[in-house]
A = this chain, B = another copy of it.
Amino acid sequence: MLEQIDLDVSLSKREYEQRIASLQARLYDMEQVALEARVPVLVIFEGWAGTSKARTIGVLTRRLDPRALRVYPITPPRTYEKQYPWLYRFWLKIPAYGELAIFDRSWYREMLAERTGEGSAVRWRERCEDAVAFERELAEDGAVIVKFWLHISRKEQSRRFKRLLEDPLTAYQVTDEDRRQHRRYEDYAAAVEDLIARTGTPAAPWHVIPATDKYHARVTVLKTIIDTLEVRLGRKAVAIDDEGQAESLDDSAAAFRERPRGNGRGRPPAVEASLDGAPGHAPGLAPAEPARPEAAHILRRVDLSLRLDDKEYSRQLKRLQAQLHLLGLELYRQQRPAVLVFEGWDAAGKGGAIQRLTAELDPRAYIVHAIAAPAGEDKTRHYLYRFWRRLPPRGQLAIFDRSWYGRVLVERVEGFARPDAWRRAYPEINEFERQLVDFGTIVCKFWLHLSPDEQLRRFEARQHVPYKAWKLTNEDWRNREKWPQYEEAVDEMLLRTSTPAAPWTVVEAEDKRFGRVKVLRTFVQRLESELGKVNL
């Protein structure tokens, strides 16, 4: 079967560049539709060693909303995972309703390793049945499942290995397992054919992708996912996609296309400016002191006139994202964990800033936690429990879209926490962050600030775009009415919890472009000072 695949198909770089941005945008649309429809999506990448699965996944995820996305690199099972039935660790990774889970290798890795190694024929058949049952159950529960086999010839694999081995920086990528696979290419190919025959089902079909030409492969992968989602999510998807087509998708600025449904209205040109609004920390304040300190009004002193024009924005964004890409690798190399906290007014652009920040990161290297009201086991324990359990391991970046600061913001203002509880939270949070920093974690915290007028403009803009209206809730309007109380809470938070090890950065986000660039620049500078400079 595999020999029927035409491996010579290709696409010019020009054609690729023309098409890829539009496909990424359509995929973003479909991600949003799936989220709204609460349909979980699983995309599985298997294929020959040397087919750059990780880079394909990078192209795929670049423009997605990272909050609904999980990328799982699958290695052989760890010791403690062997304490459970083999599918246990995959059940634990199934996406929530509306989420997209991407598997860089999957349960099929374990199966193929056994099949081409010591495993018996009986065991192979059992595993295939287990996998089919697993996928069928998820599909019947509403999940969309797309499985890829990235295919190259033995000759092409040989060429790729040679190229990787020539460069000492990439030679490590060719593992012993890969060499074994190459030596026994024909055996593996037979196993893969058997696998595809046994586990390709209508609910979870395999797509064999000719991967000799990377451009063609990437475009095919994206198109396949989009087509599958459009068929499964029906009319709705088409409607949104049509709308999408009306847009000018190919933004030659090569930076992020400003989505016109959002708030990307033109801005008056402005020069770049910078203000480090981080307030001083106040270690001398007694933590149990009940009265509000006579804090200077930190927020009122923030300069909201700061702006960036389109061209400058694109230029700076591109450079910062490239730096972040390298710094992300360095973070992993040095095995340092990092924690980013995003707090800010509703509609201040937290999501957009996070998206720009993660755009060029290896999708396996970070995770975004969107924090709403606690539920389930999080609700029945100390409020810090749910953040402890979401901490990044060494080498990973965890981004919190809202965070433990909810304790001293929404819980304080809305009365969900008693005064003694939220007052106690300042030293508790400082202690928590100190323990992270002591462990070697890089902690960066942002408050995204805008004016009430600008917030109102953004709310109204959201309200009038049917596709974005769901993002705006009654709660947002209610919060708005409590602006002064929130302002007081934010001022006190900035004053009490900005520590040398974990300082706050106040971001002037009246102009989204300026805000995003400041977030990225701050984080880049912080990483450079912690990890050392990287050269572009």
| Chain A residues in the interface with B (C-beta under 8 A) | 40, 78-80, 83-88, 91-92, 94-98, 126, 130, 133, 137-138, 140-141, 143, 337, 374-385, 388-389, 391, 393-394, 424, 428, 431, 435-436, 438-439, 441
Contact indicator B137/A94 (Cβ below 8 Å):
no
Complex contacts, A391 vs chain B, CB 8 Å: 84-85, 88
Apart from A83-B393, A133-B431, A374-B376, list 19 A-B contacts with CB within 8 A: A78-B80, A79-B79, A80-B80, A87-B388, A88-B388, A88-B391, A91-B385, A92-B385, A92-B389, A96-B377, A130-B435, A133-B428, A137-B384, A137-B428, A140-B424, A141-B382, A375-B375, A375-B376, A375-B377
Q: Whole-angstrom distance from the CB of A337 to the nearest CB of chain B? A: 8
Contact indicator A379/B376 (Cβ below 8 Å):
yes
* Cross-interface CB contact of A382 among B88, B94, B375, B376, cutoff 8 Å: B94
Interchain Cβ contacts under 8 Å between A and B, 6 examples: A80-B393, A87-B435, A88-B391, A92-B385, A96-B377, A141-B383
Q: Whole-angstrom distance from the CB of A501 to the nearest CB of chain B? A: 13
Q: Whole-angstrom distance from the CB of A77 to the nearest CB of chain B? A: 12
Complex contacts, A441 vs chain B, CB 8 Å: 85
How distant is the Cα of A96 from the Cα of B378 in the complex, in angstroms? Answer: 9
In this complex, what residue of B is CB-closest to A391? B84
Q: Whole-angstrom distance from the CB of A208 to the nearest CB of chain B? A: 28
How distant is the Cα of A79 from the Cα of B394 in the complex, in angstroms? Answer: 12
How distant is the Cα of A88 from the Cα of B393 in the complex, in angstroms? Answer: 10
Q: Whole-angstrom distance from the CB of A392 to the nearest CB of chain B? A: 8
Given known contacts A377-B376, A393-B80, A382 and B92 CB-to-CB distance under 8 angstroms: no
Contact indicator A381/B97 (Cβ below 8 Å):
yes
Given known contacts A83-B393, A393-B84, A435-B85, A92 and B377 CB-to-CB distance under 8 angstroms: no
Contact indicator A385/B83 (Cβ below 8 Å):
no
Complex contacts, A438 vs chain B, CB 8 Å: 85, 126
How distant is the Cα of A453 from the Cα of B287 in the complex, in angstroms? Answer: 60
In this complex, what residue of B is CB-closest to A126? B438
Given known contacts A91-B388, A382-B94, A85 and B436 CB-to-CB distance under 8 angstroms: yes
Contact indicator A378/B381 (Cβ below 8 Å):
no
How distant is the Cα of A141 from the Cα of B421 in the complex, in angstroms? Answer: 8
Complex contacts, A79 vs chain B, CB 8 Å: 78-79
Contact indicator A83/B394 (Cβ below 8 Å):
yes
Q: Which of A95, A381, A436: most chain B Cβ within 10 A?
A: A381
Contact indicator B375/A439 (Cβ below 8 Å):
no
How distant is the Cα of A376 from the Cα of B88 in the complex, in angstroms? Answer: 20
In this complex, what residue of B is CB-closest to A92? B389
Given known contacts A91-B389, A376-B375, A85 and B382 CB-to-CB distance under 8 angstroms: no
Q: Whole-angstrom distance from the CB of A263 to the nearest CB of chain B? A: 29
Contact indicator A378/B376 (Cβ below 8 Å):
yes
Q: Whole-angstrom distance from the CB of A24 to the nearest CB of chain B? A: 26
Complex contacts, A97 vs chain B, CB 8 Å: 380-381
Complex contacts, A388 vs chain B, CB 8 Å: 87-88, 91-92
How distant is the Cα of A61 from the Cα of B373 in the complex, in angstroms? Answer: 35
How distant is the Cα of A504 from the Cα of B84 in the complex, in angstroms? Answer: 23
Contact indicator A381/B130 (Cβ below 8 Å):
no
How distant is the Cα of A97 from the Cα of B83 in the complex, in angstroms? Answer: 29
Q: Whole-angstrom distance from the CB of A170 to the nearest CB of chain B? A: 26
In this complex, what residue of B is CB-closest to A389? B92
Q: Which of A84, A87, A379, A394: most chain B Cβ within 10 A?
A: A84
Q: Whole-angstrom distance from the CB of A58 to the nearest CB of chain B? A: 24
How distant is the Cα of A462 from the Cα of B80 in the complex, in angstroms? Answer: 43
Contact indicator B424/A384 (Cβ below 8 Å):
no
In this complex, what residue of B is CB-closest to A388? B91
Given known contacts A80-B80, A83-B394, A91-B388, A96 and B435 CB-to-CB distance under 8 angstroms: no
Complex contacts, A378 vs chain B, CB 8 Å: 376
In this complex, what residue of B is CB-closest to A137? B428
Contact indicator B384/A375 (Cβ below 8 Å):
no
Contact indicator B375/A91 (Cβ below 8 Å):
no
Complex contacts, A385 vs chain B, CB 8 Å: 91-92, 94
Given known contacts A80-B80, A80-B393, A438-B126, A96 and B381 CB-to-CB distance under 8 angstroms: yes
Complex contacts, A394 vs chain B, CB 8 Å: 83-84
How distant is the Cα of A96 from the Cα of B380 in the complex, in angstroms? Answer: 5
Complex contacts, A381 vs chain B, CB 8 Å: 40, 94-97
Q: Whole-angstrom distance from the CB of A376 to the nearest CB of chain B? A: 2
Complex contacts, A424 vs chain B, CB 8 Å: 140
Q: Whole-angstrom distance from the CB of A427 to the nearest CB of chain B? A: 9
Complex contacts, A140 vs chain B, CB 8 Å: 424
